[in-house]
Amino acid sequence: MSWIKQFAEGSFSLYSGNTIDAFQPLDFFHFYPLWYDLWVARTAGVIKKLNLEQKHFSEIKHLLPGPSSMRAILQKLIPSWLGPAKNNPTEYKLVANFFARMLMECCPSDPFGKSSNPFLNQEQVRVIFETLPWRVGNPRDAKIIGQLIAAAGSLMHGYYNDVVTDFAWDGYGPFEHDGQTLFIRHFPDIQPRELGWAESLIGSAKEIRIYGVYEGVKFRIGCVGCHPITEGSLVQGLKKYVVVVDGQPLSIEKIPELIQEFAAKAEAVYREIRQRDFEALKKLVTLQECYQLRTMYQAAGVEWRPTPEMEARFVGQPLLTGILPQGKLMTDLEEYKEIFGLNRFAAEVLKEK
């Protein structure tokens, strides 16, 4: 199954003009390779136990994170092969091929997010347009919705850091319908108690979907849905919208309460993160990475949390060095494929030239 060249084109847009030094709270490209092979091996075992290689995405989508999260797994899995622990190419290949296939089945027109995140088909889009209780858009409501997206996004960056933000905040679209453009913001897990956050920091809502229909606005996705690039005014272009909280439409009058709550909790979460030392941050980052597949692991009856063997690899250890260059801006696709190990992964794991 050849997919890595297409993945390179999609994922390059995320790193173009970026540097790995920007990721928080630590450089996981030089941290994950300390233990990621163990997580890959355990994930391969879960895939085999549930016989997921023989199942279509539509059968198992309830076990999987969203498309941006699956792309992010590949973005970290491939460079981790450049690290010192790389003795399980069969398991790396199984896991990489599985998530690549899931993306090709759930987003067939653009599986690796080169310019969109097409997580819905035309029939699903039609049903959304015809059945949701739409409210007419106006500039005031558009600004309130923008504030909600910003507040919820800040809270997700706190709960999940840059590690698995894509698990907790995704965007689907753009979807064209009758001359209008639908874009969906999705926050699927605002109550990650298993990550150890105090109850006072946990959101009052579990899940939020924000549906916006626009005219005169263009959306472009660069691999992950939480950072769409837009052209045109989101304030003037909003024609209708629905905010759905835990399955129920929320009136615009109630949204400011959520904005205030999320903003305050995001600030408190950031304060707590800044107080953690290096060893605590490493444990948090590992827990966050493992969390995104917990539903799949639980279905297999396998513990999803980091194992003692994983922790033994990094406790008291510094980050690795020299896997990816610090301060290097990616400006060329071919350079990106070489530096981030896509060429090597294709040759050594996928056995492709």
The pLDDT, as a whole number, for residue 225 is 87
Model pTM score: 0.95
> Tokens in use for 96?
């990489």
pLDDT above 70: residue 316? yes
Domain of residue 262: give its range. Answer: 122-274
pLDDT by residue (tens digit) across 107-127? 999 999 999 999 999 999 999
Instruction: Give the confidence band of 91 by pLDDT, cuts at 50, 70, 90.
Output: very high
Q: pLDDT tens across 55-90, in order? A: 999 999 999 999 999 999 999 999 999 998 767 999
Boundary of a domain, candidates 274, 290, 323: 274
Which residues make beta-bridge pairs with 248?
Answer: 245
Identify whether residues 212 and 262 lie together within a single domain.
yes
DSSP 8-state symbol, 204: S
Do 104 and 192 sit in the same domain of this protein?
Answer: no
Q: Which residue has the tokens 């790389």?
A: 86
Which tokens go with 1? 């199954």
Q: Would you say how long the chain is, in residues?
A: 353
User: What do you get for the CA distance between the two ends of the chain, in Å?
Assistant: 13
Q: What is the pLDDT of residues 205-217, one digit of tens each?
A: 999 999 999 999 9
Q: Which residue has the tokens 């660069």?
A: 222
Last residue of a domain, one of 222, 248, 274: 274
CA 3 to chain centre: 19
- Band (pLDDT 50/70/90 cuts) for residue 222 is confident
Query: Residue 28's pLDDT is what?
Result: 86
What DSSP state is assigned to residue 161?
T
CB of 69 closer than 8 Å to CB of 170: yes
Buried b (16+ CB within 10 A) or exposed e, 302-313: bebebeeebeeb
Q: For 179, left (φ over 0), alpha (ψ -120 to 50), or beta?
A: left
What is the chain's mean pLDDT, rounded? 94
Are 72 and 166 members of one domain? no
How many Cα atoms are found within 13 Å in the side-chain-facing hemisphere of 311?
10
- Indicate whether 10 pLDDT > 80: yes
User: How large a percentage of the chain has pLDDT more than 90?
Assistant: 86
Count the neighbouring beta carbons within 10 Å of the beta carbon of residue 60. Answer: 16
**Contacts of 137 by beta carbon, 8 Å cutoff, 6+ apart:** 212, 213, 238, 239, 240, 241
Say yes or no: 171 and 189 in one domain. yes
| Across 302-322, average pLDDT | 96
Same domain for 249 and 179: yes
**What is the pLDDT, as a whole number, of residue 2?**
86
Q: Side chain identity at 334, as an amino acid letter? A: E
What's the pLDDT score for residue 1? Answer: 55
Amino acid found at 284: L
Does 15 share its domain with 157? Answer: no
Predicted pLDDT of residue 324 = 84
Residues 234-257: tens digit of each pLDDT: 999 999 999 999 999 999 999 999
Per-residue pLDDT band for 25 (boundaries 50, 70, 90) equals: confident
What was the pLDDT predicted at 26? 84
Q: Which helix (H) or strand (E) holds 154?
A: helix 139-160
